[in-house]
Structure 1
Amino acid sequence: MLVLGFLLFSRLHAAAGTSRAAATANARHLQSVERVLHLDVEPAANRWLAGHPALIQPAVYCYRLYYAVLLGVLVWVYVRHTEVYRQVRRTLLAMAVLVLPVFWALPMSPPRFALPGVVDVVAEHDLFGSTASRDLGNGQNHFSAMPSMHVGWSLWCAYAVWLALRATHPRAALLVWAFPLVMTAVVLTTGNHYVLDVAGSAALLAIAAGVAARIGSGERARVAGPVAQEQQNERQQE
């Protein structure tokens, strides 16, 4: 079911909000908001990475291969921490469902397209030699910068591990939040996302976790209802 859900998500994501004109207009509006808030750090961050060649390849690896971490965390929780697996799986699916309307309603051009002078670091130094991030006709959605799902899925990984370890290994549970912080630095410096995209990712996780918790509470209540009724009947018979 999870695999089918993500295949469907991929298809719907690819079809969502593909208007370049709308994506560019939204990106310009977002940039104006960031300027007012003094958050428009993306060009400076991109120049900083371009000036530190030793960090470019690690950044590209992180950007390209984070799906391996996502899959690894999902399998690890399923095998080793079944007590939280249903909660984190619901959260993952809720994130996928909740973000699609945003992609459809708010197409967003990334800094590498919308900001003059920003270098597409991933395309320039891709470890697979791919230029897919520049090819607008390859079937991918290049205008879904808001929110950043690289950061969103990384936040989910940290949340899942934190939920599994917080009772037994509280320090390790806190350390895992370094992963989405690193991913935030990667997406900003490589020219793929804005600061407010990252804020949108954090909001997405928080809402999805709340929705998943509510669904879980409802399921537990439905299961507990017949048991409680049976216990009440037994007490009445006594």
Structure 2
Amino acid sequence: MDAKARSGALAGRVGGRPAALVEAAFLLLVILVFARLHAMVGKDTVAATDNAATLQSVERVLHVDIALAANRWLTEHPAFIQPAVYYYRAYYAVILGVLLWTWIRHGDVYVKVRRVLVALTILVLPVYWAVPMSPPRFALPGVVDIVAAHDIFGAHTSQEIPSGQNLTAMPSMHVGWSLWCAYAVWYALRGSHPRLALLAWIFPLGMTAVVFTTGNHYVLDVAGSVVLFAAAIAAATAWDRLTERRHEARSEAQSTPHDA
């Protein structure tokens, strides 16, 4: 690649995908805004604890109250504990890897799947604000905080809710963002490698098992993630259509002859 081509890849659109520098700046802005707003929600410990108690009651009625049993299973099978912690912590790397892979290898679908990711990240914030939720590790007696007890980053376990803790277990964004990773890979490969594309969905299934067994989420948290993800796809689709209409209108305006 010559200097002109490299400059184009950094500053202009290439192969239908945004420029690298522009895209990196946009994603960084999304991350910073999300982090800032997320830090402001889920602070009401009383409401989060009450919501958790209500959710636990609903799960018992629905016979899906598996959080304690799942957590006990993992504590009784220590060989799986550290792999579960790595799985739980490493999903950020998977998100970054999928973003880079789609941008480099599948520029034709990159913008579509990135829009889903951005929509997912934005739409979860009002849910966090409206429904603060204490996770099982804080709100369900008997649950062991597996990740804190065996954290690769050196955190310490405690059944007490730390001061300033963001209690935003509803929905599970570990599962939500894992669903996005699978969706992006599936969307990119569904035409050329349909069977391989289906294997991508193993990742969110594994993450679901991990968040249950480590005491981080309830079944209804995961159900909320699925609903939120569907809403993100719908929002991204509407975004795509609006953008296409604007491009069509601009093209028509440019092709229409003007009077001298």
Query: One fold, TM greater than 0.5?
Result: yes
What corresponds to 1:136 in structure 2?
162
CA RMSD of aligned residues (A): 1.7
Question: Which residue of 121, 134, 137 corresponds with 2:146?
Answer: 121
Partner-residue secondary structure (3-state), 2:95: helix
Could you tell me the percent identity over the aligned residues?
A: 62
What corresponds to 2:239 in structure 1?
215
**For residues 135 and 112 of structure 1, what CA distance do their matches in structure 2 show?**
9
Residue identity opposite 2:124 in structure 1: V
* Residues 124 and 132 of structure 1: CA distance in aligned 2, closer, same or farther (over 3 Å): closer
Alignment of 1:60-99 (within 5 A): 60-99=85-124
* Residues 39 and 101 of structure 1: CA distance in aligned 2, closer, same or farther (over 3 Å): same
Higher relative contact order (CA 8 A, sep 6+): 1
Residue identity opposite 2:233 in structure 1: A
Partner-residue secondary structure (3-state), 1:118: coil
Residue identity opposite 1:69 in structure 2: V
Partner-residue secondary structure (3-state), 1:130: coil
TM (norm. structure 2) is 0.85
Per-residue deviation at 1:87?
Answer: 0.9
* Residues 135 and 20 of structure 1: CA distance in aligned 2, closer, same or farther (over 3 Å): closer
How many residues align? The count is 231
**For residues 134 and 101 of structure 2, what CA distance do their matches in structure 1 show?**
35
**For residues 251 and 151 of structure 2, what CA distance do their matches in structure 1 show?**
57
TM (norm. structure 1) is 0.92
Once superposed, which parts of structure 1, at least 4 consecutive aligned residues long, lie more than 6 Å away? Answer: 132-135
**For residues 110 and 190 of structure 1, what CA distance do their matches in structure 2 show?**
10
What corresponds to 1:33 in structure 2?
58
Question: Which residue of 199, 210, 219 corresponds with 1:186?
Answer: 210
What corresponds to 1:18 in structure 2?
43
**Gap runs ≥5 in structure 2:** 1-25
**For residues 28 and 58 of structure 1, what CA distance do their matches in structure 2 show?**
30
* Residues 124 and 171 of structure 1: CA distance in aligned 2, closer, same or farther (over 3 Å): same
